[in-house]
Amino acid sequence: MTMNLKKYPHKLLVKLYFDMLRINKVQLHIESLYHLDEMKTPIHLSIGQEAIAVGVCANLRQNDYISSSHRGHGHYLAKGGDLKRLIAELYCRETGCSKGRGGSMHLVDTSVGHMGSSSIVGGGIPIGTGLGLATQMKAEDRVSVIFFSDGAADEGALYESINFAILKKLPVIFVYENNQFAVCSHVSARQAGEIIFHKTPHDAMPSQAVNGNSVMDVYEATKQAVMRARQKSGPSFIECKTYRVRGHAGAGSDEKLGYRTAEEIREWEAKCPVRAFSEILLRDGVLNETEIQIMEETIDCEIDEAFRFAQRSPLPKPEDVTKYLFCD
Amino acid sequence: MTMNLKKYPHKLLVKLYFDMLRINKVQLHIESLYHLDEMKTPIHLSIGQEAIAVGVCANLRQNDYISSSHRGHGHYLAKGGDLKRLIAELYCRETGCSKGRGGSMHLVDTSVGHMGSSSIVGGGIPIGTGLGLATQMKAEDRVSVIFFSDGAADEGALYESINFAILKKLPVIFVYENNQFAVCSHVSARQAGEIIFHKTPHDAMPSQAVNGNSVMDVYEATKQAVMRARQKSGPSFIECKTYRVRGHAGAGSDEKLGYRTAEEIREWEAKCPVRAFSEILLRDGVLNETEIQIMEETIDCEIDEAFRFAQRSPLPKPEDVTKYLFCD
Amino acid sequence: MPWTKIKSDVNEPNYYLESDENIRRLSYSEAIREAMDQALELDQRVFIMGQGVDDPGAMFGTTLNLHKKYGSQRVFDTPLAENALTGIATGAAIGGMRPVYFHNRPDFLFLAMDQLVNHASKWYYMFGGAVNVPIVLWACIGRGWGSAAQHSQALQGLFMHIPGLKLIMPSTCYDAKGLMLSAIADNNPVLIIEHRLNFRHKGFVPETPYRVPIGKGIIRKQGKDITFVAISHMVTEAYKAAEELSKEGIEAEVIDLRTLRPLDEEIILRSVSKTGRLLIADCGWKTGGITAEISALVAEKGFEFLKAPIRRVACQDVPTPSGYTLEEAFYVGSNDILNAAREILQIR
Amino acid sequence: MPWTKIKSDVNEPNYYLESDENIRRLSYSEAIREAMDQALELDQRVFIMGQGVDDPGAMFGTTLNLHKKYGSQRVFDTPLAENALTGIATGAAIGGMRPVYFHNRPDFLFLAMDQLVNHASKWYYMFGGAVNVPIVLWACIGRGWGSAAQHSQALQGLFMHIPGLKLIMPSTCYDAKGLMLSAIADNNPVLIIEHRLNFRHKGFVPETPYRVPIGKGIIRKQGKDITFVAISHMVTEAYKAAEELSKEGIEAEVIDLRTLRPLDEEIILRSVSKTGRLLIADCGWKTGGITAEISALVAEKGFEFLKAPIRRVACQDVPTPSGYTLEEAFYVGSNDILNAAREILQIR
Ligand SMILES: Cc1ncc(C[n+]2csc(CCOP(=O)(O)OP(=O)(O)O)c2C)c(N)n1
Ligand SMILES: Cc1ncc(C[n+]2csc(CCOP(=O)(O)OP(=O)(O)O)c2C)c(N)n1
Ligand SMILES: [Mg+2]
Ligand SMILES: [Mg+2]
């Protein structure tokens, strides 16, 4: 990354770094405690993909929408979702963001425009598109961002949704987090080549591929897309090329499974977007070691508090199992 | 059409014309009798689209597969399906190609590779792709042609099927019969622009748009695609631009409905592919008026016979309603 | 094709009023159209989508010219992309709108099952009540004229199994309007399944907007000898059969469930407690269909009332055949109800 | 996550042999894998497809390394495009192959409903027997560890409603192999729904290929006082409950249906004719589920035998909650069966 950071406000750069670091640390902490079997929920870590959630969401306002997936911790936090309620959800507590009904794959925080994530791969794509439709119909000034990965790109729902978004010029941004894997299956085993939506005519839907491990690249691409959406000019498509460094689900590396090489994983771990950005910030004097140290401590404190909050929170009562079936 | 017909065998040109004329006449005859309410089945006429079924199928062998839709009379006949059994199916007879269980939208003639048509729009696309997969796995020398129209092009099943066909290099030809309408809805009300599959890299899937009202254009485009499939080089995509001159379903024009102009219908009726081709053939001396006259009479005879066959055939017995639920 | 031009010249059975000639009658499709018109008028959040809602066919007339009155932003045609469009409707509902998504036939809902069942129906529960999904899906069962296997499925048996989804099947013009207005006002996903044969009817429909409560059945005819439970156009068939039996001095009680989920258990159990005999009539398949659930309900909670086996009158368990001689054997109607009732009552 | 590493160290109930220590035992997943291996070996038309069938997880081990033995043309990974891939499998079957399409969970079948229900299940009937579709779909129900609403649906209640589709739910290792081989040999679409909890078991599995007939239930325990009808892992639960009752001198007859469609009506009716009491246990939702159909069958054809209300033990009618305290309330097991049985028998 040889980009010139000078043109960006200091505050923005600090925020980008802080948010990435925080998402990274939260997930490492979850990972470190997962073996205790107290978080009785599947987890899908987005370690190594922090730049995408953060680079995108830094362009969004509180009332903008995002749509997310099973691998959604990063999106939730980047959009401003409450950390305590995230951890409480992992601990299956009544104080969780989904009141212990959803678990790690089903996060929600409507106060920041996170309207719920689907664990059906591709399931969130039409819903995010529909949020764009609502925005347009209500003549609101909102953007709807849809995060999805290469597995979801296999699904016809993507084709159908993009067609509709272009047709209606919806304020939707398709953020294709191409981390190259769906469980153990490499994208090349499932897709015939580069995703075809890059070929969409520019005026209908500008499309580009960026380095998903560079928060500034993601930020810049999203900035254009958000501008376009706010100007009511229609949807955009951004492919963020990245890699899933952890196993598909659960804690730790899945190196031993042998479906990909240890070197490949190492290579991509070396491209850690958080560390990469910290190096630039240090190099360019945007931050110094002490400041980063303080950030780390702040985050650690917040994480400890969130876990304590979660662990001490009440569990849903069995007799409430039928609650929330219907809304009055 | 300024093409040079000299390079084609006389027999082929005659066959192309004969087949188009026959499909045209069969449908006109169905149409003329439909008001009698004896054919108790919905009908979807492909008048004006004869060149596509014929131009494509002239390249196929008996054991090649086709997959068709609710608007499938032309495909069935062009592929060599039995006329008597088609008409008997419209008359709901036990002698129908589907034994009176399927009706006009569900035709089948396995002896000529027509393995059944779906009336779920887009439903036949994956099935035709799967026929290509079977062919490849059995190392057979067959091609699988999928006929579908612009309504089906809205469906994610098309995207999913094309992706798979390219991924596995299947011997499949996607024939996009763009007749501009799905019921009363113009393609521009449903699709964001030109279909994106024209943008597929050429080596993965060659794609082209041709004049769907020119049988020779369709023939030529298909020829290349069939060659590619037989060489096991993978799928092709052909858009045949055409127009549905009749109403969506039933007999006659739907001009009075007012969702399109009478002029537009007239304009396209003037482009009738059967007449257009006859003019060329006459001009170039491939056929003369008498020969055409004889063809007409031959076809009329065959049609009369088919209708007589159908009308005299037995009806399915009510007590057989549960027959064919399961195959032994 | 006759089934494309269903004439609404038959009055529905006269459930409401004894002999008032001056009541306001609308056709079934006019009743629904009036509901849509009023909903669009009264609530800016309401909009209509679906294949052909703005075309001359206009979903059997139920949406006719509403796009002209309310604009093509609020009444719009959709691509044939049932899965994404259901998700888009769901997203729009989450974003504060109230979409009504029309389908010609329930068969096409099979393409939309992921969004309808995995998403819309679960969203409220899955997020602990944080987000609700006020969408209405509407579909009309095909029948006859060789509609065949892929164009005539009556899928209430499937949808009744889905928690989080309300399921409505009206039988009268009055209810078609009132239940539509309730469905639109409901804060949950609601599926309305209509039946083409209902569209033959004209019936009493007040002009002012009104709501018929979801989850409440109604007795269409009082009786003491046997209970007929039915939905949609099978109510008409059951009523016909009941009138026939009446002539023989047997009084069947006819219950129109109107809603299948939530189910009005009480109205069924109360009736069976009186009659001791139960016949359930459906226009869908028998095995695993709605007749099964209603029977099981009574075998569980009303067993002590039962004097005879519970009989189910429903379609044959095969894909719908196209041929008319086979259609005759596939579908059931008042005669089948009559025969089954006689068996239960052991007459003749 | 514990549920990803189900250990198969528990022997299934000893239904088959009195006390033979020397029988060949395989784990549930090995039993299925052996079926797949033999099917691939014996019939060139058979192939396996599905997300991850060639990965190290290998569908709970059921397809482990088969791609190495038979090549990646016959055992291959698929895109996440469940609808088209089901149609592609259908097309391949029409073209003379015998695909077995594996899914992790039934939830994902909602994406495939159009091809499975509108197409594969209707093709043979719709074309008057001209073309049949020998495909097998396989899916394994999730449970526990917060699988939640979109990853734990037990959808047999839906699929039992579909004409033209065979539906199998084995409960033992022996049947898992034998029914898989029957399903592959069958000329019709067959859906096999497994349950994760079955994968804990080891059981008797002969090495040679064999077939267990589709459409035939089996009595797992003889009894005269009450009939328990169950499927899949609920058979184990019912059996446990029956053993418990045995201690009290009450003999429950435990029927393992094995196939839900076609349903073995006779085995149910014969048992109820003896016991007069019926309890049906399912791991799916109650309303409109398989317990409804089985109850309705008996209320229609075995009414005269019944001495007590029919009880249904099934999951709560809500989307599956993720939290473990709620999961406890959502799922049912041998205790619920025991309690319901006691109510029917009016003990305590
Ligand atoms: C429709 C559907 N099919 C299959 C699955 C099972 N599944 C869960 S996550 C996953 C992989 C998804 O890959 P991708 O979309 O690339 O997301 P990533 O895990 O990389 O974030 C699969 C196959 C699912 N949840 N939904
Ligand atoms: C999935 C699905 N949605 C809706 C319909 C209702 N329908 C029947 S034909 C038709 C129009 C199809 O248009 P197109 O694919 O362009 O075929 P064409 O009629 O032009 O041949 C529609 C919407 C259907 N049969 N299937
Ligand atoms: Mg991925
Ligand atoms: Mg068309």
Question: Hey, are the CB atoms on C95 and A133 less than 8 Å from each other?
Answer: yes
Q: Whose CA is nearest to atom 14 of ligand 2?
A: B151
**Please, what is the average pLDDT of chain D?**
96
- Residue B85, exposed/middle/buried by CB under 10 A (0-12, 13-18, 19+)? buried
Q: Which of D80, D137, D151 to mutate to test the pocket of ligand 1 (most atoms within 8 A of CB)?
A: D80
If you count DSSP H runs as helices and E runs as strands, how many of each does chain B have, helices first? Answer: 10, 7
Q: Do A185 and D52 touch (CB under 8 A)?
A: yes
- Residue A181 Cβ inside 6 Å of ligand 1? The answer reads yes
Beta bridge partner(s), residue D202 = D11, D27
Nearest beta carbon to residue B322 from set C84, C110, C318:
C318
Percent of chain C topping pLDDT 70: 96
Is the predicted pLDDT of residue D11 greater than 70, yes or no? Answer: yes
> Which chain C residues have a beta carbon less than 8 Å from that of B249?
1, 4
Residue D18's pLDDT is 61
**CA-based nearest distance A49→chain B, Å:** 26
Report the pLDDT averaged over residues A27-54: 98
Strands D252-256 and D218-221, bridge-based pairing: antiparallel
3-state helix, strand, coil in chain C (%, to 5): 40, 20, 40
Which residues between 127 and 166 in chain C have a beta carbon less than 8 angstroms from any beta carbon of chain A?
A: 127-132, 163-164, 166
Contact D121, D86 (CB under 8 A): no
How many other CB atoms sit within 10 Å of the CB of residue A141?
13
Residue with tokens 């039915």: C230
Supply the pTM of this predicted model: 0.98
Q: Which amino acid is at A74?
A: G
Give me the mean pLDDT over the C182-198 stretch: 98
- How does A293-313 read in b/e, with b if 16+ C-beta sit within 10 Å? eebeeebeeebeebbebbeeb
Q: How confident is the model at residue B97 (pLDDT cuts 50, 70, 90)?
A: very high
* Mean pLDDT to the nearest integer, D197-226: 97
Q: Which residues of D are known catalytic residues?
A: 82, 151
Task: Give B102 or D15, the one with higher predicted confidence.
Answer: B102
CB atoms within 10 A of CB C277: 23
Query: Measured between alpha carbons, how far is residue C171 from residues C58, C194, C283, C327, D26 in Å?
Result: 21, 8, 12, 22, 56
In this prediction, residues D102-114 reach a mean pLDDT of: 98
Residue A70 CA to ligand 1 center (angstroms) comes to: 8
| Residue that is written with structure tokens 């063809």 in the block | B295
Strand order of the β-sheet with B236-241 is B65-67, B144-149, B172-178, B236-241, B207-211
User: Which residue's CA is minimally distant from atom 17 of ligand 1?
Assistant: A149
B3 pLDDT exceeds 80? no
Mean pLDDT within D100-114: 98
pLDDT 10s digits, C309-339: 999 999 999 999 999 999 999 999 999 999 9
**How confident is the model over A213-238, as a mean pLDDT?**
98
pLDDT tens for B121-155 read: 999 999 999 999 999 999 999 999 999 999 999 99
Which candidate from D84, D124, D130 shows the least CB-CB separation from B161?
Answer: D84
Distance B299 CA to ligand 4 centre (A): 28
Residue C273, CA distances (Å) to C267, C299, D304 in order: 10, 12, 18
Give the pLDDT band of residue D14 (cuts 50, 70, 90): confident
Q: What is the pLDDT of residues D57-79, one digit of tens each?
A: 999 999 999 999 999 999 999 99
What is the rounded CA–CA span in Å between residue A104 and residue A113? 18
Reported as half-sphere exposure (CB side, CA atoms, 13 A), residue D333 has a value of 9
For the record, the structure tokens of D341 come out as: 């049985």
Give the model confidence (pLDDT) of B248-305 as tens digits: 999 999 999 999 999 999 999 999 999 999 999 999 999 999 999 999 999 999 999 9
3-state class (DSSP) for residue C24: coil
Sign of CA dihedral B303, B307, B312, B313: positive
Chain B: residues touching D (Cβ < 8 Å): 65, 67, 96-102, 106, 108, 110, 115-116, 118, 120, 123, 125-135, 137-138, 144, 156-157, 160-161, 163-164, 167, 323-328
Cβ pair C329:B104 closer than 8 A? no
Sketch the domain layout of chain A as residue ranges.
20-316
Position D3 scores a pLDDT of 52
The domains located in chain D, with CATH, are: 2-211 (3.40.50.970), 218-345 (3.40.50.920)
Compute the average pLDDT of residues C201-221. 97
Element (H, E) at A19: helix A10-33
Active site residues of C: 82, 151
- Using the mean position of ligand 1's atoms as its centre, give its distance from the Cα of residue A248 in Å: 9
Q: Are C324 and B119 within 8 A, CB to CB?
A: no
Residue of chain C nearest A164, judged by CA positions: C79
Alpha-carbon span C29 to C64, nearest angstrom: 9
CA distance A235 to chain B (A): 12
DSSP string across D290-322:
HHHHHHHHHHHHSGGG--S--EEEEE-SSPPPS
Using a CB-CB cut-off of 8 Å, the residues of chain C touching B105 are: 148, 150-151
Contact B106, B95 (CB under 8 A): no
Q: Over chain C, what is the mean pLDDT?
A: 96
Q: D89 — contact with chain B (CB < 8 Å)?
A: yes
Pairing of strands C98-103, C75-76: unpaired
DSSP letter at D251? -
Name the amino acid, one letter, at C139: A
Task: Supply the DSSP symbol for B58.
Answer: T
Looking at chain C, list the stretches that DSSP marks H as alpha helix, in order from N- to C-terminal side. 28-42, 66-70, 82-94, 113, 123-126, 156-159, 173-185, 233-247, 265-275, 290-301, 324-330, 334-345
Give the single-character DSSP code of A17: H
From the alpha carbon of C114, which atom of ligand 1 is closest? 1
pLDDT band, residue A157 (cuts 50/70/90) = very high
**Strands D201-204 vs D25-27: parallel, antiparallel or unpaired:** antiparallel
Contact at CB, D316 and A102, closer than 8 angstroms = no
pLDDT band at C116 (very low <50, low <70, confident <90, very high): very high
Distances from the Cα of C2 to the Cα of B44, C152, C257, C279, D329, angstroms:
15, 15, 29, 32, 53
pLDDT digits (tens, 9 = 90+) for C278-304: 999 999 999 999 999 999 999 999 999
B258's CB contacts (< 8 A; 6+ apart) are: C56
| Contact between chains at B324 and D124 (C-beta distance less than 8 A) | yes
Round to whole Å and give the CA distance between D309 and D280: 11
Tell me how far the alpha carbon of residue A71 lies from the centroid of ligand 1, in angstroms.
Answer: 9
* Res C15: pLDDT: 86
Q: Which chains touch D (3 or more CB pairs under 8 A)?
A: A, B, C
Which residues have C-beta within 8 Å of that of residue B173, sequence separation ≥ 6?
Answer: B56, B143, B144, B145, B146, B222, B225, B226, B229, B235, B236, B237, B238
Q: Cα distance from D110 to chain C (closest Cα, Å)?
A: 5
CA A186 – ligand 3 centroid, Å? 8
Question: pLDDT band for position A113 (50/70/90)?
Answer: very high
Instruction: State the pLDDT confidence band at C18, using cuts at 50, 70 and 90.
Output: low
pLDDT band at C22 (very low <50, low <70, confident <90, very high): confident
ipTM here: 0.98
pLDDT at C348 over 90: no
For B20-316, CATH gives: 3.40.50.970
Please report, as a single letter, which amino acid is at residue C2. Answer: P
User: If you average pLDDT over residues A293-298, what whole number do you get?
Assistant: 98
Q: What is the mean pLDDT of residues A255-265?
A: 96
CA atoms of B278 and D204, how far apart (whole Å): 73
